[in-house]
């Protein structure tokens, strides 16, 4: 029965359609700023992250932490949330990949977690100490391989600050080409339409990288 061969084909086709390609997309947008902390010997010893969440996720995260749905948020609850987040982030390696002179660096558990909520946006801060401080050209990438969280570097020069770095060290941002900036929370912006046309470069999200050369 040559024609019955189309049945398995049909099956396979139906299965493929049913299990339509798995595509996650971000539900959380984070703007990152990093402070690279150098020791007196010129070795990089810690990275302090400051992650600002988009207003929608911020609203979700502080849900129930204030007196009313629109009221101010309890600082003690924010501190607890910061601790929880810092702990849970360990499982994901803090979404952080740090290399010095091309070698991957291990970072210890996060310290000094803190959280602030201003103008409807949440900012999480925590420090990642390097297990072994090391000098050299540092490359810092922050990304979520599962795409649930979309990270992007803060605009302008805000993406990185150097603390106690040897003279002559400079941080440069390598941003994805034509990545759409997060639209301002007010009104429909051009960025929305840009995001649609710039779509094919979305995967270059991974190219968010800070390089500090000394």
Partner 1 sequence: MLSTLSLNPPSRGLQRLVLAALAILAACAVLAALLGLLAPGFRAPPRSPFGIGFREAAPTGATSLGAWLLAMQAGFSQALQAAVSAVKAGRDGTLTLIGLGFAYGVLHAAGPGHGKAVIAGYLMAGERALKRGFTLSLLAALLQAVVALALVGGGAVLLRLTAAGLNQAGTVIETAGFACVALLGAAVTWRKAGQLARLLNREAGPACGPDCGHAGLADGTRVERLTTLREQAGVVLAAGTRPCAGAVLVLVFALSQGILWAGVAATLAMALGTAITTGLLTALAVFAKALALRLAGGRGQGGAIAVGVLELWAAAFVLVLGAGLLSGWAAAAF
Residue closer to partner 1 by CB (options 10, 213) is: 10
Q: How far is the CB of 80 from partner 1 (least distance, A)?
A: 10
92 vs 172, which CB is nearer to partner 1?
92
Tokens coding 3: 């024609």
CB 35 within 8 A of CB 47: yes
Give the nearer residue to partner 1 in terms of CB position, either 84 or 155.
Answer: 84
- Tell me how far, at minimum, the Cβ of 198 lies from partner 1, in Å: 7
Smaller CB separation from partner 1, 61 or 140:
61
Closest separation in Å from C-beta 40 to partner 1: 34
Judged by CB, which is closer to partner 1: 167, or 196? 196
Residue pair 150/144 in contact by the 8 Å Cβ criterion = yes
The least CB distance from residue 77 to partner 1, in Å, is 8
CB of 134 to partner 1, least distance (A): 27
Nearest to 112 by CA among 50, 29, 194, 30: 50
Phi, psi for residue 16 in degrees, rounded to 5 = -65, -45
DSSP string, 9-53: HHHHHHHHHHT-------SEEEEEEEEEEE-TTS-EEEEEEEEEE
């Amino acid at each position: 029965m040559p024609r019955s061969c189309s049945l398995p084909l049909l099956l396979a086709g139906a299965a493929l359609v049913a299990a339509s390609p798995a595509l996650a997309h971000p539900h959380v947008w984070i703007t990152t700023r990093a402070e690279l902390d150098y020791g007196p010997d010129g070795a990089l010893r810690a990275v302090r992250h400051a992650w600002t969440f988009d207003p929608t996720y911020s609203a979700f995260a502080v849900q129930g932490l204030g007196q009313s749905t629109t009221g101010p948020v309890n600082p003690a609850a924010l501190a607890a949330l910061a601790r929880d987040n810092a702990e849970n982030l360990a499982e994901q390696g803090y979404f952080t990949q740090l290399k010095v002179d091309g070698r991957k660096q291990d970072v210890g558990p996060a310290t000094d977690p803190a959280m602030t909520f201003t103008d409807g946006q949440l900012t999480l801060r925590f420090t990642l100490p390097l297990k072994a401080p090391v000098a050299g050209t540092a490359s810092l990438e922050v990304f979520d391989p599962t795409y649930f969280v979309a990270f992007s570097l803060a605009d302008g020069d805000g993406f990185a600050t150097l603390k106690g770095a040897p003279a002559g060290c400079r941080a440069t941002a390598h941003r994805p080409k034509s990545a759409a900036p997060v639209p301002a929370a007010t009104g429909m912006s051009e960025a929305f339409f840009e995001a649609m046309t710039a779509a094919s470069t979305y995967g270059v999200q991974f190219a968010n990288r800070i390089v500090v050369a000394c």
